[in-house]
Amino acid sequence: MGSLIYDGTAIQFDDRLLTHLQIIVVQKLRRDEAFLMSWRDAEQIGNGRSSIWIHPAIPLYFKFSGSRIPTINRAWLSQMTTSANSSQGLVITPEITDPDGE
């Protein structure tokens, strides 16, 4: 499990998901765009939902537990990027199958 550390709060995500989130978040922040990011909490912490407002002025740190960079699932990346660019913000979803096999 890796961590996204934002404004002093550490949020744990699987390294594979965190890699995909890093790509999306960096794309948004490079364009100086603030946005909402939401996810479903793990059962261990109540099985609810959480959201944060990500703003370019707030420091962000990605900490991966493993050293290997996973293969990027372009279909999943595209789905979450579309979500990030919508009014609902980036909603983290379970991984979908990439039709290109990547």
What pTM does this model have? Answer: 0.90
* Mean pLDDT of all residues belonging to the chain: 91
Could you give the angle at which helices 15-30 and 74-84 cross, rounded to 10 degrees?
50
Write out pLDDT tens, residues 63-101.
999 999 999 999 999 999 999 999 999 999 999 886 665
What value does the mean pLDDT take over residues 22-37? 96
Q: In whole angstroms, give the CA distance from residue 93 to residue 38.
A: 9
Q: Alpha helices, DSSP H only, in the chain?
A: 15-30, 74-84
Phi, psi of 34 (to 5 degrees): -90, 150
Share above pLDDT 90 across residues of the chain, in percent, rounded to a whole number:
79
Share above pLDDT 70 across residues of the chain, in percent, rounded to a whole number:
95
